[in-house]
Chains A and B, each alone.
Chain A
Amino acid sequence: MTETRSGTRIVDVSLSTTGLTPSGRPVRTPLVVDERGSAVAVVPPPALEPDLQGEHMLINIGPQHPATHGVLRLVLELDGETVVRCIPHIGYLHCGFEKIGEYRQYNQIITWTDREDYLNSIGNNVAFALCAERLFGIDVTPRCTVLRVIAAELSRIISHLVWLGTTCIDIGAFTPFLWAFQERENVYRMLENWVGARLTTSATRVGGMAADIPADWMEKLRAFIREFPKTIDEIDRMLTRNAIWVGRTIGLGVMTADEAVNYGLSGPMLRASGVAYDVRKDFPYLDYETYDFEVPIGTSGDVYDRYLVRMEELRQSVRILEQAAERLPDGPINVDDARVILPPKSKATSEMESMIHHFKQVMEGPRPPIGEAYVAVESPKGEKGYYLVSDGTAKPVRWRIRPPSFLNLSAIPKMVEGHLLSDVIAINASIDIVMGEIDR
């Protein structure tokens, strides 16, 4: 599809309106053809010589600008249209999640995890439950493990679809946004059917899930797995070889592999630079090592490669969902561990011991042993880590969120400097930031 040759990126694009063929189909010819018949991608213009002595200009983008995907503020120093310096400001959405976590029991924190990376709420629920279970020394049941894989991959699909739709809007394509949001709506309906909420799912509990899936849910999942790849193909046809899309994305915000690792990037941002680090493969959890899927990596680390990586991840997520739907075993969703799991309601209302147990469990909360655990998962944005420190009481001493988009965003000055002002929007969109997670 793409190759790098002597520094010039070649991408076959074919979308221009130069007329109709005799059969009435639009003629598709590359915009700029090189000697091999491939369109030469638009490379960012080399830094021009400063023409006339001019003042540098101060431009403020955000915090209310729609293309900053939230309340991000970028102060840019411009020389003409070229960005000389970028000073990001964050913190407008800071709510003190980590502080509040120190005053909450472990199961109560799960509702907070919904609200940080709110495009990936069920994935955060899974990640937090995994970390808390490490702290309690619990291994969840096989059915729960597979259900969590389904939840995490659905969450990845939702998040990537939002990224795709909003990035299309930023770059000027409206139609794929509608297709992406239609599919996202299907996933949200499934989640609503399962846990009763669309966005703020709070689907997991320490030691299990809040609810098992309803009876006909797997049919819905299978229907989604059948239909969704068609939408991906449609978006793929619309964008991947679209000359405008390629021209607006290629060669922008390049991070080399070494830089990407040194800046702590993760997820598609890191993989687009050619570093095959995926927590699901390298530090597996939830039996990811037993699923057959591949980790797409890019070659040049620009905005276009990040797009390609995320598109391929959507396909790989569907593959994982197919396998998970095949292997979902019967059985309990909660572990049989009285330290963390409530007794059944029928017992709690009829037996004195169970009622006391239920009361103490809810009012005092489960107490993990003294210790600490850092558990990272591969969220749609990258390595999402939760670090919990326990002093043996029912509330953590420290709840640290390792936010992947915080680190991905911290590289934005490096990525935008030297590019044009209009490219700042495309580069910022490619990072896939969620300010709820960055500011916490």
Chain B
Amino acid sequence: MTTAATPSAVSSPPATQRGVPHTGGPENPSAAAARARFPEAVRRTSVVWGETTLVVAVDRALDVIRWLRDDPEQQYSYLSDVTAVEYRDPEEPITVVWHLRSLVHRRFLRVKAELPRGAPLEVDSVWPLYKAADWLERECFDMFGIRFRGHPDLRRILMWEQYAEGHPLRKDFPLRGRFSRAEQLRQALAANPEARYSMEELSIADATEDLPESMRQRLRSGERTGE
């Protein structure tokens, strides 16, 4: 094993930020490059608390992120996070947020796409670029109901598959859940504890053959299994 200092492709060593201004301050050079490369897709850029945000058109987000990853001047090879923000003001659009890092250039960039209200919540998946997006986008779908086009396996991840109360992080979702406690309890008691496997999993070992006849009938009639 070796110990090594981190690669330094930057001139000055990074330092703890102090006295970061609320707005303004030095902009990440990638923002200007993105504006020059995608003048029609980049809606606006801003610097808030020292972090540069790039707001892009929803349908061009994948193109911009692909360019950010592949351009040798940018090399945002590391996807830190995919998430979404819904504001309390219902006029504000739901925003999908990608946090990208360039490990080589030691840069951090926030890319945002605003999903218009009223239209279906859809955006292209960045899974073809970053495998890290697999679970992050599933969580975002689970919590906000945003569909990521091109994701290979977009299903709920933290909530269970039959969860019928909606998407918990939406602002119209009450803190205690949409259903009453009595209804939640009723559903929990009515759940079939035997149904622990998805059909995909059951097909692994032809396990459907081993199931009791009553359960096979239920599965044939279209009942979904657990998870």
What string of 1s and 0s marks CB contacts (under 8 Å) between B192-203 and chain A?
000011101110
A66 cross-chain contacts in B, Cβ below 8 A: none
Rounded to whole angstroms, the CA-CA distance of A380 and B23 in the bound complex is 32
A100 cross-chain contacts in B, Cβ below 8 A: 175
**A134 with B201: CB separation less than 8 A:** no
Max chain A Cβ within 10 angstroms of own Cβ: one of B19, B143, B156, B204: B204
**In whole Å, how far is B200's beta carbon from the nearest beta carbon of chain A?**
8
Q: Which residue of B lies closest to A395 (CB)?
A: B88
**A264 with B79: CB separation less than 8 A:** yes
**A410 with B197: CB separation less than 8 A:** no
Q: Please provide the chain B residues from 103 to 152 with a CB less than 8 Å away from any CB of chain A in the complex.
A: 103, 106, 108, 110, 130-136, 139, 143
For chain A, the bracket of interface size reads: 35 or more
B6 cross-chain contacts in A, Cβ below 8 A: 276-278, 281-282, 295
Q: Which residue of B lies closest to A372 (CB)?
A: B48
Whether a CB of chain A sits under 8 angstroms from the CB of B169 is yes
Rounded to whole angstroms, the CA-CA distance of A415 and B132 in the bound complex is 14
Contact A94 B80, CB 8 Å, known A284-B15, A371-B48, A389-B85: no
B132 cross-chain contacts in A, Cβ below 8 A: 262-264, 407, 410
Rounded to whole angstroms, the CA-CA distance of A99 and B136 in the bound complex is 17
Rounded to whole angstroms, the CA-CA distance of A122 and B17 in the bound complex is 22
Whether a CB of chain A sits under 8 angstroms from the CB of B20 is yes
Neighbour of B49 across the interface among A281, A297, A372, CB < 8 A: A372
Count of chain B residues with a beta carbon within 8 Å of a chain A beta carbon: 69
**Which of B36-44, B157-165, B212-220 binds A?**
B157-165
**B83 with A387: CB separation less than 8 A:** yes
A98 cross-chain contacts in B, Cβ below 8 A: 143, 169
**B1 with A385: CB separation less than 8 A:** no
Rounded to whole angstroms, the CA-CA distance of A2 and B18 in the bound complex is 41
**B205 with A57: CB separation less than 8 A:** yes
Whether a CB of chain A sits under 8 angstroms from the CB of B86 is yes
Q: Which residue of B lies closest to A305 (CB)?
A: B1
**B204 with A77: CB separation less than 8 A:** yes
Rounded to whole angstroms, the CA-CA distance of A57 and B207 in the bound complex is 9
Q: Please provide the chain A residues from 48 to 82 with a CB less than 8 Å away from any CB of chain B in the complex.
A: 55-58, 60, 73, 75, 77
A-B residue pairs in contact (CB < 8 Å), sample of 10: A89-B227, A91-B159, A137-B21, A262-B131, A264-B130, A264-B133, A295-B5, A369-B22, A385-B99, A398-B86
